[in-house]
Amino acid sequence: MVEDREVARAGFARRHGWFLAVLAAGTALRVITMLGYRPALWFPDSYTYVVTVMRPRPDLVRPAGYSMFMKLLEPFHSFGAVTAAQHLLGLATGVLVYWVAVRRTRRWIATLAAVPVLVEPYQIQLEHLLVSDTLFMFLVVAAVALALSGRPRAVTIGLLLAAASLTRTVGQPLIVLLAAWFVLRRQVRPAWIMLVAALVPILAYGGWFYATYQRAGIVGANGVFLYARTMSFADCARMNPPADLKVLCDPRPADRRPPSQEYIWAKDAPIVALPGITFTEETDDLAMRFALLAIRTQPLDYAGSVLGELGRSFLWGRPVYPDQEIYDYYQFPETPPGPPGRYPARVGTEFAKLYEQGPIGTSIVEPYAGWMRGYQDVARLPGTVLLAVLLVPPLVSGGRRLRYGASGGSGPALWLLPWSVAVVLLVTPAAAAEFDYRYVLPAVPLACLAAALSCGKGKEFTSDISRDVQL
């Protein structure tokens, strides 16, 4: 019996050797990162998340899903435990991509699909940042993987999407998208079950939010962020806004204005100059009215602005955007970052010390940190390659239709689900906020999975991977 198991394991390693090698490389890179940057890298948003951990209540800007994830790890009293968990989630995401792809395509194609999430340096650096994107990426990929498994677990998928939506609000459109997927595949009952399973936690969180602020929703910043998005083109001379909205106008020409985020956080921004905090209900409603008026008055300018922001996702290079400070947060640093400047972050620093039960900061240890900086200098997934990956499924599918005609299947092609989710994850920030490099990364494994599935050979490999999983 022992010999049989050893033979089975050897056969598994032989069949999936290339993937296991990539997985081992990804693991090694993450170990080096943890050795080089101890215990974690900080982002301005990190401090807000920690405040919610130590003082549980809904935040007006960000839902509390990531803070609850950090709360689960609080008994370790180490932000290193948080980054370690995030690195494991990154590896698990690569495994999920391979697991779904290898059942329907060749092993080398499935391995290629998992490469970006496993060894891309900016992905690894994002996992080492105390931000919500790695958790969000894993939850979404897990939901998509289950939806493609052939035996949809509707309740689990719904709960995963609810957790994703309460981690980043961009997850909310995905609930409708996956429900539509089930309906298109004539699985109406799983669609309803999934919707209920997703909406119950979100409504419960909404009740908590309402009890805290007497406002409907799960955040209180949608209007402010959309207002900032429209300030890249909004022309008050054309809009002719009513008197109460004119205070939000910027007289500068659109091509001389700062990036959208400055209209939320900069001290001289029109909305920041209003009485009270930026995210009061009155201010958010005012900002939403301004944004909707701008979109109605200048729909083509809005569309062009969204396409311009989306286009940043597909550049070959990596130009500085939205500013040098934010850009540098996505690089492995040579020196420890300085203390936070904004007041909310300074408050978060004190809570972070309670979480860690000691001083916080980032220790940079050589030569490990230098190895990761050098790796990041030479290896990355260019945006143009991501665009090519996104084009593979429709091109391959269209070519097959031209050669063989319509397949006559009972539902949409499998690649359509991860492809659509990837597109939504790329378009939504560009439409509702602005482009950010870290917003692109959660879409990458889904785009790669879609490309792999579009190159598949049906179900001929299913029994092989099923046997291996049982081993």
- pLDDT in the model for residue 464: 44
Least confident of 139-153, 194-208, 436-450, 452-466: 452-466
Domain boundaries, the chain: 2-217+321-470
pLDDT at residue 60, as a whole number = 95
pLDDT at 462 over 50: no
pLDDT tens digits for range 297-320: 999 999 999 999 999 999 999 999
What pLDDT sits at residue 341?
Answer: 63
How much is the pTM?
A: 0.93
Check residue 8 and give its pLDDT. Answer: 62
**What is the residue type of 113?**
A
What pLDDT is recorded for position 342? 63
For tokens 């978060």, name the residue: 348
Residue 290: per-residue pLDDT: 97
Which tops the pLDDT comparison, 304 or 349? 304
| Contact present, 436 and 322 (Cβ < 8 Å) | yes
User: Highest-confidence range of 8-22, 137-151, 343-357, by mean pLDDT?
Assistant: 137-151
Round to whole Å and give the CA distance between 36 and 464.
Answer: 40
pLDDT tens-digit series, residues 129-180: 999 999 999 999 999 999 998 777 999 999 999 999 999 999 999 999 999 9
Q: Is the pLDDT of residue 198 over 70?
A: yes
